[in-house]
C-alpha cells in the first residue's frame, strides 16, 4: 500500500531529480552542494531557482530568503490542508512528517486516509519519495561528467526549458496565464529597459501575481 502510494512520485522524482543533478553539475556545483540542496532544502522548483542564484554570485541572502520563501509559500496551504488528517499524531511526528511535505507527496497522501491515520506509514511514503529525489540527484550529477560541452547540445537552455515546463503545470486558468504574461512584460521593462537589477524581478513577480489574482476576482 505504501509503495503503491509512492510509485507515481518515484516515477516523477527520479527523472526530475536527475535533471536537477545534471544542471547542478553543468553549473559547476560540486556533488556535495547539489546533494545538500536535495537533502536539506528538498523543494523542487525552489532548488532549480537556487541554481540560478548560486551560479551568479554575489547574491544577497535577503534576496535568496525572499524568493525561495515566496515560491514555497504555497506549501503553507498544503500543510494547512493536510493538518486535519493528522489529529491523532504526536507533535514530534507532525514536525518529522511535515518537514518532507512537498507538492507531490501532499498530492498522493491527501486522499489516502488508510495511510494518514498512521503517522509512521505516512512518514514512510514521504521518506521513499525523498529517497527517489536524492537518488535522482546523485545519478544526474554523476552522469553529468560524461557530457563534454553543454552548449553543444543546447543544454544551456535546459534550466529555462524546465522552468517553462513547471510553469505550464502551474498555469491552470486564464488568470494564471495573465500573471505569466504580465510577469514577462514587467520583467522586461524593469530588468531590460530600466536596468533595475535582479531584485526588480521579484517586484515584477509580485505585481503580476496581484494583477492575475485581481482580474480573476473581478470576473466572479
Partner 1 sequence: MGTTTSVALAIMVMVVATQVSRLGPLMLSEIKFSKSFEKWLSHVPIGILAALIIPEFISRGERGFEYNYLFIVATVLCFTLGVKTRNLMLTTTVGVIVVALLRYSGLF
Of 12, 9, 37, the C-alpha closest to 23 is 37
Please, which residue, 59 or 117, has the CB nearer to partner 1? 59
In the range 43-82, which residues lie near partner 1 by CB under 8 A? 43, 45-46, 49-50, 52-55, 57-59, 61, 64-80
Please, which residue, 1 or 203, has the CB nearer to partner 1? 203
CA distance 215 to 114: 40
Q: Which stretch binds partner 1 (CB under 8 A): 95-103, 108-116, 117-125, 137-145?
A: 95-103
Tell me how far CA of residue 66 lies from CA of 9, 35, 167, 208, in angstroms.
28, 22, 19, 16
How far apart are CB 115 and partner 1 at their closest, in Å? 19
Q: Which long-range contacts (CB under 8 A, 24 or more apart) does 82-90 make?
A: 82/106, 82/109, 82/110, 85/109, 85/110, 85/113, 85/116, 86/116, 86/119, 86/122, 88/117, 88/119, 89/119, 90/119
How far apart are CB 4 and partner 1 at their closest, in Å? 22
170 touches partner 1 by CB under 8 A: yes
In the range 106-135, which residues lie near partner 1 by CB under 8 A? none
In the range 177-206, which residues lie near partner 1 by CB under 8 A? 179-180, 182-184, 186-188, 191-193, 195, 198, 201-202, 204-206
175 touches partner 1 by CB under 8 A: yes
Amino acid at each position: 500500500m505504501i509503495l503503491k502510494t509512492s510509485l507515481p512520485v518515484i516515477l516523477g522524482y527520479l527523472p526530475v531529480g536527475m535533471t536537477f543533478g545534471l544542471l547542478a553539475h553543468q553549473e559547476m556545483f560540486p556533488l556535495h552542494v547539489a546533494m545538500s540542496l536535495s537533502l536539506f532544502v528538498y523543494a523542487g522548483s525552489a532548488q532549480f531557482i537556487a541554481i540560478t542564484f548560486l551560479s551568479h554570485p554575489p547574491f544577497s541572502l535577503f534576496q535568496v530568503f525572499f524568493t525561495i520563501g515566496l515560491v514555497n509559500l504555497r506549501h503553507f496551504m498544503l500543510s494547512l490542508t493536510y493538518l486535519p488528517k493528522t489529529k491523532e499524531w504526536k507533535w514530534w511526528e507532525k514536525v518529522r512528517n511535515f518537514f518532507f511535505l512537498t507538492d507531490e507527496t501532499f498530492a498522493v497522501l491527501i486522499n489516502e486516509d488508510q495511510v494518514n491515520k498512521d503517522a509512521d506509514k505516512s512518514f514512510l511514503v514521504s521518506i521513499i519519495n525523498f529517497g527517489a529525489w536524492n537518488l535522482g540527484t546523485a545519478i544526474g550529477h554523476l552522469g553529468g561528467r560524461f557530457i563534454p560541452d553543454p552548449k553543444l547540445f543546447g543544454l544551456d537552455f535546459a534550466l529555462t526549458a524546465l522552468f517553462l515546463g513547471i510553469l505550464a503545470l502551474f498555469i491552470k486558468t486564464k488568470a494564471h496565464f495573465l500573471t505569466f504574461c504580465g510577469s514577462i512584460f514587467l520583467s522586461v521593462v524593469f530588468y531590460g529597459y530600466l536596468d533595475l537589477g535582479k531584485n526588480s524581478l521579484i517586484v515584477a513577480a509580485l505585481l503580476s501575481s496581484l494583477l492575475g489574482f485581481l482580474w480573476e476576482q473581478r470576473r466572479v
